[in-house]
Chains A and B, each alone.
Chain A
Amino acid sequence: MTSLLEIKNLVKTYSKQPEPALDDVSIKVEKGEVVVIIGASGSGKSTLLRCINRLVEPNEGEILLEGENILDPTYNVNVLRQNVGMVFQSFNLFSHLTVIKNLTLGLTKVKGIPIDEATNVAMDILERVDLADKADNYPAELSGGQQQRVGIARALAMSPKLMLFDEPTSALDPELVGEIISIMLSLAKEHMTMLVVTHEIGFAREAADRIIYMDKGKIIEEQPGNKLLTDPQHPRTKQFLQRIRK
């Protein structure tokens, strides 16, 4: 059976950057799996996620989504992006659109769903993230936690096959982190396939089917379940875990 996502020997070197941001990275993600990536700042985690929905074009390697090479020039990048939802560290809500319009824009413009139907779909999803009462507010009128819930809802609205989370809680005040984590946990329970960059060890421990440690653009260690947290093998993983646990 083909994996939902298979990354083979991915290399990305930014121009004017001597060191590669991604150096021969290979990852497999099966349908329904939750894979957590941890690693120091600048280790290439964001670059990896951004390659997967082609916000960044890698230099070498392959990315297969359900067996199809998404880096192929003939592959439609806008179809790819419908299938891959992205949640950003800084939310990136469309600031001139209300919450509900943030969700319906993609449905109407990309999927061509009529606005009434799109609004119904969007309201259902807003209810899931407990924000139905904020549907007509603008992003600036929401708390950080609420904004990130909209960010997740916006990605979910497109019914993606894979959700990418790039440090979804690291721009939030500590007391707001919980509401995002609990939504992500419930997604994990519903077997949403997720690739999550986070330093929320609690989430990793509870939800991860696999945890990957990256450093300097390379995968240093990869372990099933939360073995990487409880029993890290590589000295650099141990060092990193010690540092973030302090």
Chain B
Amino acid sequence: MVTPYDIIAAFFHNVYLSLVSIYVFFIQYAPLLWQGFLITLQISAFSIMFGVVLGVFAALMKISSNVILRSLATGYIEIFRGTPLVVQILFIAFGYPLLLQNVFNVNLVAGSWNNPTGFWKAIMALSLNTGAYQAEIIRAGISSIPKGQMEAARSVGLTYGEAMRHIILPQAFRIITPPLTNEFINIVLNSSLVILIPVQDLTFWGNQIVSATFRVMETWTIVGGLYFSMTLLLSRLFQYLEEKYRIPGVGFSTKGGTPRLA
């Protein structure tokens, strides 16, 4: 006869067995996941850095009085916001070298600028994509700074560039930290699409492990958890920076208080 004790004992035995096997599984595949995690981290970090630079330049071009600069920036932003990231990744991975070869007669050299490794193609695609989104965020930040700030800076004798660099951008970046953080999180998550190139990132290894072990639930739980830990860290880091570099009267406090009107 089966007593309730037997059922409970069997349950705990099963739990024990699965924990052991998950542990064994994890120990076995942790190095691969770790490797993928690092690749994802690197791709995201580079894309964030290049994306900010691109975003600042595109934003400045978009508000410039020069028609050519303005149209270049508008074209760039519209194209990269208006097409799927997957298409952008595939285009850069496979179309960009062909374009150079067939249209511009460039001799393709694997690993050089004209035919970079998958890793760098991934960073190119993600940077260009996020740069377009960031340009719009940064432009909005710049235009939220009262006109008087630029006028005062110019009237002290700063050039337009110096005024941007020392007066406008430092204030704008404080104001746009929250939407910019969102965009950084998007980069990390969107970077999973580079599996199409293919790049051996976290998602790539997750996929490999699932094919080899059929441990669907465990694998994707761990992979998801690793992505989550990256984005959580990122959002906490920027929350911390926002508080640390907060200045009374500039931007909005996350701890309440009234927003500034002028």
A196 CB, nearest partner CB in chain B, Å: 16
Assess whether B155 is in contact with A141, with CB atoms less than 8 Å apart.
no
Mark contacts of B152-190 with chain A using CB atoms, 8 A cut-off: 1 yes-contact digit, 0 otherwise: 111111110010001100110010000000000000000
Chain B positions 221 through 262: 1 when the CB is less than 8 Å from some CB of chain A, otherwise 0? 000000000000000000000000001111000000000101
Among A78, A93, A155, chain B packs the most CB atoms within 10 A around the CB of A78
CB distance from A12 to the nearest CB of B (A): 16
- Contact yes or no, A90 B174, CB < 8 A: no
A141 CA to B247 CA, complexed, in Å:
10
List residues of chain A with CB within 8 A of the CB of B167.
94, 96
Asked if A53 is an interface residue, CB under 8 A from chain B, the answer is yes
User: Given A96, A110, A140, which contacts B156 in the complex, CB threshold below 8 Å?
Assistant: A110
The reply to whether A78 and B158 form a contact with Cβ atoms under 8 Å apart is yes
The smallest beta-carbon distance between B93 and chain A, in angstroms, is 41
Known interface pairs A138-B248, A140-B260. Does A96 touch B159 (Cβ–Cβ under 8 Å)? Answer: no
CB-based contact A140/B157 at 8 Å: no
7 further A-B contacts with Cβ under 8 Å, apart from A85-B155, A92-B149, A154-B156, are: A53-B155, A86-B155, A92-B151, A92-B152, A94-B152, A95-B249, A110-B158
In the complex, what distance in Å separates the CA atom of A154 from the CA atom of B167? 14
A103 to chain B, nearest CB (A): 10
Q: For the complex formed, measure the closest distance between the CB of B246 and the CB atoms of chain A, giving whole angstroms.
A: 10
Question: Given the interface contacts A109-B162, A110-B158, does A93 sit within 8 Å of B170 by beta carbon?
Answer: no
Please name all residues of chain B whose beta carbon is closer than 8 Å to the beta carbon of A140 when the two chains form the complex. Answer: 247-250, 260
Q: What is the distance, in angstroms, from B147's C-beta to the closest C-beta of chain A?
A: 9
CB contact under 8 A between A95 and B247, given known A81-B157, A106-B157, A109-B162: yes
A139 adjacent to chain B (CB < 8 Å): yes
A10 to chain B: which residues have CB within 8 Å? none
Q: Are B148 and A92 in contact (CB under 8 A)?
A: yes
Across the interface, which residues of A come within 8 angstroms of B250, CB to CB? 95-96, 138, 140
Closest CB in chain A relative to B141 CB, distance in Å: 13
A158 to B157, alpha carbons, bound, how many Å? 9
Among the listed B152, B157, B174, which residue makes an inter-chain contact with A88, where contact means beta carbons less than 8 Å apart?
B152
Give the distance to chain B from A26, nearest Cβ to Cβ, in Å. Answer: 23
A21 to B145, CA, bound (A): 26
Complex: how many Å from CA A90 to CA B152?
10
A244 part of interface (Cβ distance < 8 Å): no
Chain B residues with CB under 8 Å of A27's CB are none
CA distance A155 to B152 in the complex (A): 10
Q: Determine the chain B residues whose CB is within 8 A of the CB of A115 once the complex forms.
A: none
Known contacts A88-B148, A138-B247, A140-B249: A94-B157 contact under CB 8 Å: no
Shortest Cβ distance from B161 into chain A, in angstroms?
Answer: 11
Taking residues whose C-beta sits less than 8 angstroms from the other chain, chain B's interface range is 20 to 34
Nearest CB of chain B from residue A31's CB, rounded to whole Å? 21
Distance of A82 Cα from B249 Cα, bound (Å): 27
Contact mask for chain B residues 128-162; partner A; CB cutoff 8 A; 1 contact, 0 none: 00000000000000000010110111111111001
A105 contacts chain B at the CB level, 8 A cutoff: yes
Cβ contact of A81, chosen from B155, B247, B260, cutoff 8 A: B155
A-B pairs with lowest CB-CB distance, top 9? A140-B249, A92-B148, A92-B152, A106-B156, A110-B157, A86-B155, A81-B157, A140-B248, A82-B157
Kindly list chain B residues whose C-beta atoms are within 8 Å of the C-beta of A154.
Answer: 152, 156
24 contacts between A and B (CB under 8 A): A55-B151, A55-B154, A78-B157, A78-B158, A79-B157, A81-B157, A88-B151, A90-B148, A91-B148, A92-B148, A92-B149, A92-B151, A94-B149, A95-B149, A96-B174, A105-B166, A109-B158, A110-B156, A138-B247, A138-B250, A139-B249, A140-B247, A140-B249, A141-B249
* Residues in B neighbouring A88, C-beta threshold 8 A: 148, 151-152
Q: Which B residues are in CB contact (< 8 Å) with A138? A: 247-250
Contact A158 B148 (CB under 8 A): no
With a cutoff of 8 Å between Cβ atoms, the chain B residues found around residue A85 in the complex are: 155
Q: Shortest beta-carbon distance, B224 to chain A, in Å?
A: 39
Q: Nearest chain A CB to B10's CB is how many angstroms away?
A: 65
Q: Which residues of A in the span 74-116 have a Cβ within 8 Å of any Cβ on B? A: 78-79, 81-82, 84-86, 88, 90-96, 105-106, 109-111
- Interface residues in B82-123 by Cβ distance below 8 A to A read none
